[in-house]
Amino acid sequence: MAHVLLDGGNFFHKKVADHRHACIAAWDEMARLGYAAVTLGDQELNAWDLTDSLLNASPLPVVCTNIEHRVGGLWRPLGHRYVITEVGGVRVGILSVFSEEEMPRVSLQQLGARYRILDPRETTRRVARELRDRVELLVLLAHLDPDVMEDYAVEFEEIDVIVGGHHPRNDKQPAQFGNTIVNRSGRRGQVLGQTRLVITPRGELVDWGGHNVTLERTFPENAEVAQIAIEAKQKETEASRARRRQGRAGG
């Protein structure tokens, strides 16, 4: 059974300044695990300096279909506009959508000189149609309101699967709206969402299922990943102590 790993954004900690090393660890771990694509949410865009440095240094495939950033005075795609990967002999196209309605106006104003958000629906429609004939399966990483994801599922028939991020809605399993399967498993790595698809050799989606699991304390931990988390917390503690010492010296 082939699998593809994806993330719908908002995997950074809400207080990035105090949890910088944890954010870096999460990013690096997704790269190590071989995620096919992730998109950025408002948490990552609000931590622009850190996100920008990781984008330039990490192999993690970041897809931001309708977000551009300013480079040398010109607007350029932020990360990839889309990704096409082959999984078990099936060509999978991955695009994303971010709505400025999911970000505080103050943040938009502060970061507006660095990036811009293209019209979500228009961009999704154009890129989905561009990709449809090139892939057997089309996946949208959606950083949208959960109800808006349902609207997108019905409106964009080209899209087979929508993976949701941003809002803390935790669906117990995927659901179908129109002909599109939607899985909204929450945010910040608290829930692991699984969507199972049965696809014929001709690329036809004939069956689907799945379930989402909350990663509670009783959920078995990978020892290597747990050690990475411990080391990240130790670095945060050391950084916090250094800031306090610097503050006392400056006072």
Q: Domain-by-domain residue ranges, the chain?
A: 6-219, 224-251
Sign of the C-alpha dihedral, residues 128, 130, 133, 138? negative
Asked if 166 contacts 102 with a C-beta cutoff of 8 angstroms, the reply is yes
Amino acid 217: pLDDT: 74
pLDDT (0 to 100) of residue 223: 84
> What angle, rounded to 10 degrees, do the helices at 120-132 and 146-155 form?
40
Amino acid at 150: E
Res 132: pLDDT: 93
Task: Give residue 230's pLDDT.
Answer: 87
pLDDT at 189: 61
Residue type, 116: R
Angle at 179 between CA 175 and CA 181, to 5 degrees: 30
d(CA 80, CA 83): 7
CATH of domain 6-219: 3.60.21.10
Q: Residues 74, 43: contact at Cβ < 8 Å?
A: no
Answer whether 151's CB lies under 8 Å from 114's CB.
no
158-188 residue pLDDT tens: 999 999 876 666 778 889 999 999 988 766 5
**CB-based contacts of 111, cutoff 8 Å, min separation 6:** 45, 46, 48
